[in-house]
Amino acid sequence: MRQDENTGGARPKREWDSVTRLLSKTSFLEEMDAFIASAEAEGTLDDYVLISVNICNFKYYNIKYGGKAGDRVMFDLASRLAEGNPDGLNGRFIGDRLAAVMRQQDAEEKIRALQQGFKLKYGPTGLTTKVGIFRLTPDTDALSACELAKLACDTIRNKPEDFCYYNEQIRQNARDVVYIVQNLDRAIRKGWIQIYYQPMVRTINGCLCGIEALARWVDPKRGVISPAGFIPVLEDNQLITRLDLYVLDQVCRGMRQKMAERSELVPVSINLSRLDFLNCDIFQEVEDSVRRYGIARDLLNLEVTESMVMEDSNILKREIKRFHDAGYKIFMDDFGSGYSSLNVLRDYEFDEIKLDMIFMRNFDEKAERVVSSAVSMAKGLGIEALAEGVETKAQYEFLKRIGCDKVQGYYISPPVPLDQFDALFEKSDAVEPRRFKAYYATVRRVNFLTDKPLQIVDFDGKAFRGLYANDEAQAVWQSLHFKSMDQVAALLNDAGSPYYAEGRDVLNKLRLDDPIRMEFDVYGVFLGMRLHLLAKEGEHRLIAIEVSNLGQKDEEDQGDENYIFRLLFTLYDEIYRINLKTQEFIPVKPGVNYIEMSDEWDKRGWKLDLKASARMFIQLEDQSDYIKFADPTTMRERMAKADRGILSEMFRSKGRNGAYVMKLHTIQPMPGSDCVLYSMQFVPKVQEQIKAKTWRHSPQDAPDLIQQDVWQTMCHSQTVNIFWKDKARRFVNVNDKFLETYGLSDRSEIVGKTDEDMFWHVDDGPYRNDELEVLQKGKTVVNHLGKCIIHGKLHNIVASKEPIYRDGEIVGLLGGFVPIDEVTPELSGQVPDDEQESGIDLIAVQKTLAAYMEGWEYRKEKFAAVSVQFDSYKRARQTYGEDIAARMLTALSDRIVDFCGNRTVVIRGFGEHFVMLMKYEDRETVEAFRKAFIARSRMVRELAGYAETLNPTVVVYYSEDARDITNMVAMAFQNKTVEVEPFQN
């Protein structure tokens, strides 16, 4: 059997593939059918096999090198196949699959030669081949034989460079495929698809911090079908999205159930397939489920695999950004399973990488190095790392030691049904509260792979607790005869210990992400510490500490050195080490001004800036002398001339509460280095010398108070709201205080408009009448009471207005007002916010409602009552606690007021139910307001610094639709419908 173009006879003209120069699929099948018939007639068909050749990772190659490079690879492989099978039938079947008919006796030899030659050339790029083999039989046509050979090829999943014969097991597997495809909908409907949950544990605290939802097929006839048995089948047959959406629904339903049971909630992650991003709008599907069940986005995480990202990079990049922008966390699953892991991390924003469990299966020294490198890289990128497949305590301890943030695997628990899950974590302290998720996640920034003594400590407002200490840190404490970290914590937590107050005083000096260096005397031995406040949550503080024993040198020198340190710390309030060569300085013993100082010196890279230092911490009269004293360029020369090489001088320096006290500043050389010690010491006995210091004022002549100065003062006044209008009552300009009061960012928002255009009066009549009196009759209005909407609340104001004349003609008016509620709340019956236990000002609400209702009854001024109900407050109380939920509710109120501006009054009812009152001319304006409010609410990702999701239900009630206006308002506050059908989302 030869493949050439001289076919002769009535056989159809051959077609050749343009890329591989082999037979096209159509011609190959025609030739093969003819060959089967001929060989069967000759009785030689059993001597032949059909092979199906597939290139592994070919899509990734095309993505990286381009389609033309991929075509060259296909041509090369086809040439190798044709050269190795010159007497056979060779063709391109479809895509990157080639097919060939060859003699069975030397088929395996030819296949190995083909694979080895291909690997030698393309292996470094990640390309390999796999081959499926079908023994030809009389009852099988060419197309069926090709499909069966392809089926055998596809069974090779984790063993590239291999070949596989089609056999009875593959035939049975094919039947299983048919069963799975035909029964998926039934399995979902009957509940055969069950959701199992596998816990994730955070290593730093040992708490449950997340759950992965996994599908299990429990068939009444076939028993448990493993995920490996049905998930690839669903992917191959474009059905995986159906399963993924079902899992999404069941997970959200389960979380809603747990909320109803008031159980502790932790984030649940679900797996998404690449087809989910191609076959549907998966982002919208997730959003719909979250809204349907009232789930917060931060409680639902999404996992995508590395291979998905490589196959459809542009689509995935866009969709991942949509999820991120909405507030979801995205995990990369199976990290390290492909050859483009680093490229993926470079091009995409992931919140967590899940190390492929293959690293845990072969857990040897090399695997440890690889995992350590991956964890270190994740920390460098600021993302968390989770290790899957953890099965032993040794693996867990190793992962905790290197700083792997989370673990998952059978060592913790196998996947279990939801009703069995709670039993795994019965203790409340075994579950990481929602409020502490971000708190402990900050540990991801700490590099555990350091040779420095490192420990992580948590302070809960009452006691210190050690969470982690590497071997080097434990060695430091053991050098002080502490047997364990628990003993160190006990020392700090003992109220009778001299270190009890000192430890808490140090905490007060710490600021977020602003490490400080300090030295401490512990039982006569000085320890140097670098303290880094990682996170704060309520009373809790999470601190990373690098500790070193400063006295741990030669034994004969140790006592003297510690004595020197103790003496220095006893004598001086503040000590700094200054490098005269680089002019860098390091706080050795920071003083009371450290927090203020650190802000400034962070900007300067901790380099000396004497003018800035003098300005902040030295009294004005002493600043020039201080700058001369602390000048590093002349310091060596002056020390050389000074007695014992020590410089000292008194300066009035800022102390506690901003008061200036007399301090002795001392500069001492550090022999054998370019450094000096700069120290400060409070000297009580010479405090009275402050009075003897001569004040050196720089007198300045007071400028004449000319008209322009007064005008500028009015424009920038921060006490009175001033405005001026033209004869048509349009705003010409306003001062800065006016802009601030109404929350306007620019004068263009108001210039050229009237009060009616701004909608900030419930009743425009009195204001309009006053201004017409001023503009038409030249009258002056003094201290007229009125009501105005400011930041969503109806305020009482006192306004005055007078005419502006030009050449004897009135050309406008000048006005000013003061919101008297802010100054004298008793005048309006308002109660200050801090005295409102219920959070609701009932008197103000009654007056506000009366103003709108009177406007409708007597002036037919239409108004709408927009009733808004959120579902986040109850969830926040359950998952964050009452204190945080209250802060979040305040933040929510502020956001609503900010959105509504000055044309809408916002009233909070019970819990997170709000009613907004607004006048309108047409319903389209109100409907646009409603839609914009819903859209803005759904964009919210956090309140008061805590992750949250808002899904408001908004109902609009119109005064012109109501038969009874009082009943309409009552229904709005009860969030119920009235006689008319309200608009509703």
Using one digit for the tens of pLDDT, what is the confidence trace for 724-735?
A: 999 999 999 998
* Least confident span in 91-95, 379-383, 785-789: 785-789
Rounded to whole angstroms, how far apart are CA atoms 789 and 798? Answer: 13
809 — phi, psi (to 5°)?
Answer: -110, 145
Percentage of the chain beyond pLDDT 90 is 43
Rounded to whole angstroms, how far apart are CA atoms 767 and 10? Answer: 101
* Least confident span in 338-347, 497-506, 835-844, 850-859: 835-844
* Band of residue 597 on the pLDDT scale cut at 50, 70, 90: low
**Rounded mean pLDDT, 872-889:** 89
Percentage of the chain beyond pLDDT 70 is 86
Contact by Cβ (8 Å): 526, 565? yes
Is residue 561 over pLDDT 70? Answer: no
pLDDT, tens digit, 9 for 90 and up, residues 422-437:
777 766 568 999 999 9
pTM: 0.69
pLDDT, tens digit, 9 for 90 and up, residues 189-201:
999 999 999 999 9
Contact by Cβ (8 Å): 888, 877? no
Rounded to whole angstroms, how far apart are CA atoms 776 and 930? Answer: 40
Domains contained in the chain, CATH given:
23-165 (3.30.70.270), 176-440 (3.20.20.450), 449-547 (3.30.450.20), 558-684+698-713 (3.30.450), 719-825 (3.30.450.20), 839-971 (3.30.70.270)
* Band of residue 900 on the pLDDT scale cut at 50, 70, 90: confident
**Other CB atoms within 10 A of residue 291 CB:** 14
Rounded to whole angstroms, how far apart are CA atoms 268 and 277? Answer: 20
**Which segment, 119-128, 293-302, 867-876, is predicted with the most confidence on average?**
293-302
β-pairing, 268-271 with 953-958? unpaired
Sequence-separated (6 or more) residues with CB below 8 Å from residue 872? 296, 888, 892, 912, 943, 948, 949, 950, 951
Rounded to whole angstroms, how far apart are CA atoms 582 and 571? Answer: 27
Distance of CA 967 to the CA centre of its chain: 45
Rounded to whole angstroms, how far apart are CA atoms 587 and 515? Answer: 11
Q: E strands, 598-748, where?
A: 647-654, 660-669, 675-682, 721-726, 731-734
* Band of residue 568 on the pLDDT scale cut at 50, 70, 90: low
Distance of CA 608 to the CA centre of its chain: 37
In this prediction, residue 473 carries a pLDDT of 94
* Band of residue 316 on the pLDDT scale cut at 50, 70, 90: confident
* Band of residue 822 on the pLDDT scale cut at 50, 70, 90: low
| Residue (of 337, 94, 207, 265) closest to 875 by Cα position | 265
pLDDT, tens digit, 9 for 90 and up, residues 524-537:
677 888 899 999 99
CA dihedral sign, ordered 482, 488, 490, 492: positive
Higher pLDDT pick, 720 / 33: 33
**Rounded mean pLDDT, 106-125:** 92
